């Protein structure tokens, strides 16, 4: 069985970011930028912890009618944000995918991360 993975990379601004990818390679959650790699890795551990409980998922609808979700920590801070979905069903599938893949996803550091 294929597993999900967290990919850690450095963006153009020199900040560390992670993406959680499902076993099919699709990005299902993306982080904000972190100034240090250690902070980024702590963010991944926070995703692992908080993805177990539905109450940490904030479901959102944009002004244009697209759907997305945020995964929040217990303090209310956003840990990661999903892609945009055309409907609520797609968004709920994305949440299920995060809950399925995050707990045991591999961590891969890309190109100098």
Q: What is the pLDDT of residue 63?
A: 93
Cβ-contact 19, 105 below 8 angstroms: no
Instruction: Report the distance separating Cα 40 and Cα 23, nearest Å.
Output: 21
Q: Is the pLDDT of residue 59 over 70?
A: yes
Q: What is the pLDDT of residue 95?
A: 98
Look at residue 39 in the predicted model and tell me its pLDDT. Answer: 96
Q: What is the per-residue pLDDT for 88?
A: 97
% of residues, the chain, pLDDT over 90: 93
**Distance between start and end Cα atoms, the chain:** 27
The CATH fold of domain 5-109: PH-domain like (2.30.29)
Q: What number is the average pLDDT over the span 21-50?
A: 96
Residue 1: the pLDDT is 55
- pLDDT score recorded for residue 111: 77
Mean pLDDT of all residues in 9-33? 95
- What pLDDT score was predicted for residue 3? 86
Average pLDDT over residues 41-67: 97
């Amino acid at each position: 069985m294929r597993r999900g993975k967290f990919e850690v990379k450095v963006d153009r601004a020199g900040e560390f970011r992670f993406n959680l990818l499902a076993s099919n390679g699709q990005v299902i959650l993306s982080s904000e930028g972190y100034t240090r790699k250690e902070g980024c890795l702590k963010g991944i551990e926070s995703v692992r912890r908080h993805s177990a409980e539905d109450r940490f998922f904030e479901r959102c609808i944009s002004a244009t009618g697209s759907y997305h979700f945020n995964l929040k920590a217990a303090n209310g801070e956003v840990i990661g944000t999903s892609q945009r979905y055309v409907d609520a069903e797609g968004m709920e599938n994305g949440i299920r995918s995060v809950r399925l893949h995050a707990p045991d996803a591999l961590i891969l550091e890309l190109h100098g991360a």
